[in-house]
Amino acid sequence: MLVDEIMAQVSQRDPNQPEFHQAVQEVVESIVPVLERHPEYRSQKIIQRIIEPERAIQFRVPWSDDDGNIHVNRGFRVEFNSALGPYKGGLRFHPSVNLSIIKFLGFEQIFKNSLTGTPIGGGKGGSDFDPKGKSDAEVMRFCQSFMGELWRHIGPDTDVPAGDIGVGGREIGYLFGMYKKNANAFQGILTGKGLDWGGSLVRTEATGYGCTYFVNEMLKTKGDSFEGKNVLVSGSGNVAIYTIQKVHQLGGKCIACSDSQGFVHDPEGLDLDLIQQIKEVERGRISEYAAKRPSAEFSPNWRDIWTVKCDIAMPSATQNEIDANSAQTLVDNGCMAVGEGANMPSTPEAAEIFVNSGVLYGPAKAANAGGVATSALEMSQNSQRLSWTFEETDARLHQIMINIHASCQKAAADYGSPGNLIHGANIAGFLKVANSMMAHGLI
């Protein structure tokens, strides 16, 4: 059996990379029917080639804190696949980062980027640096040290990083400054840039808006909408905040969100201005929200957010945040749709529960592709040396999400599992990459 063969090989080569194994297994299982129809992909060993990064860079990142103490972090950039364009994908700064996490994210990014219909390959990077509690000056020195190595590996036609967990506008600014100094070139080598120096309108909002547009497409297939729906959104970072904003614009009510220390439940509907003040301006903790809002209650176990009764769940924090238990609780409580803003937030067992229960399930690769899609729009604007209006960029993002939903639906139906968007996303994403790899020869 091909899946077992591939997984045995992956486990033997990279025994300590459980997140990477999980991501590979899901894709390989989905594309079995494609391989049956296309024996040329098997004979050309497309799977064996696609699961091996084209290049993986690991480097030392030394920096000194405000008291002069020296710290050494580890930096990564995995340039996974360039069949469709320059490597593209975010940088994650979080203490849990290791090669397994970066490889799972880079692998997912190949198929996600393919689904966007824009010309970008897949990559991911980051560091086990923890920006929490660090001063701006410490974050700047860390970013400068990180880019002091990374700059020689990236370029506007080679590899274009962006943000992810722990990397937002502030970090992108410091990283961009150091690249510009080292390369002596003002180039679009990062996306998520500031609006004054090459950034795109809507990039900040794009992942959350895109995920909400995607869920809206799923709801439409049942003649339904966000109107009057109670929604859970985990996390309270970039993706969560702009998911909440768009859900409210479409008539839904977000009633809970979280961070790594707990969740808040606000049955009257989340006050987004207050969340933005606490999280974006003060870089504080979500518990402060409950302290300032009488209708809200704080609970210290973040996983328990999934026990709150809801119509729609939009996990937007981190990988494997919904396990089988949480998935079953959501289903038992009447949850009808799940849209994944985070990358791989559902364990395989949880995803299976959603699919088998007939929940409208939008897997991460498809549902959160709006962020990277808008990064590709930022690259287009940089190439043209032009910038588009908010309305134009948002309209393009919206159309891209409609197209992704349609192509996942079509691929799922074409290959024998109508309505299963996990299969649809993996198959539609895979086909373009596989065909391009075939066209480029054995490289």
In the complex, the smallest distance separating the C-beta of residue 159 from ligand 2IT, rounded to whole angstroms, is: 10
Contact 268, 256 (CB under 8 A): no
Q: Rounded to an integer, what distance in angstroms lies between the CA atom of residue 28 and that of residue 92?
A: 25
In the complex, the smallest distance separating the C-beta of residue 299 from ligand 2IT, rounded to whole angstroms, is: 28
Q: What is the DSSP letter of 386?
A: -
Candidates 269, 289, 270; CA nearest to 278 is 289
Q: Which is nearer to ligand NDP, 259 or 311 (CB)?
A: 259
Which of 138, 159, 164, 340 touches ligand 2IT by CB under 6 A? 164
Which of 99, 275, 372, 425 touches ligand 2IT by CB under 6 A? 372
Q: Which is nearer to ligand 2IT, 41 or 104 (CB)?
A: 104
Residue 260 near which of ligand 2IT, ligand NDP, none (CB within 5-8 Å, type-dependent) = ligand NDP
In the complex, the smallest distance separating the C-beta of residue 49 from ligand NDP, rounded to whole angstroms, is: 25
Two tokens, residue 219: 């709801």
Helix-, strand-, coil-residue percentages of the chain, each rounded to 5: 50, 15, 35
Which of 216, 316, 319, 343 touches ligand 2IT by CB under 6 A? 343
Q: Rounded to an integer, what distance in angstroms lies between the CA atom of residue 172 and that of residue 74?
A: 18
Contacts of 178 (CB under 8 A, 6+ apart): 143, 144, 147, 148, 151
- Name the residue number minimizing CB distance to ligand NDP: 237
Choose the catalytic residue: 88, 103, 112, 124.
124
124 catalytic? Reply is yes
Site mask for ligand NDP (CB under 6 A), range 360-399, x = bound: --------x--x----------------------------
* Number of residues forming the site for ligand 2IT (CB under 6 A): 12
Q: Which is nearer to ligand 2IT, 162 or 296 (CB)?
A: 162
Name the one range near ligand NDP by CB under 6 A: 182-190, 336-344, 352-360, 399-407: 336-344
Contacts of 25 (CB under 8 A, 6+ apart): 3, 7, 348
* Number of residues forming the site for ligand NDP (CB under 6 A): 24
Q: Any long-range contacts for 224-227 (C-beta under 8 Å, 24+ apart)?
A: 224/336, 225/250, 225/251, 226/250, 226/251, 226/252, 226/312, 227/251, 227/252
Which of 371, 421, 428, 430 touches ligand 2IT by CB under 6 A? 371
Q: CA triplet 146, 151, 153: central angle to 5 degrees?
A: 110
Sheet strand arrangement including 297-299 = 297-299, 262-265, 253-259, 230-233, 312-314, 337-339, 360-362
Residues of the shown chain interacting with ligand 2IT in the complex, contacts defined by CB under 6 A: 88-90, 109, 112, 162, 164, 191, 343, 371-372, 375
**Catalytic machinery residues:** 124
Residues of the shown chain interacting with ligand NDP in the complex, contacts defined by CB under 6 A: 163-166, 168, 207, 235-240, 259-261, 302, 316-318, 341-343, 368, 371
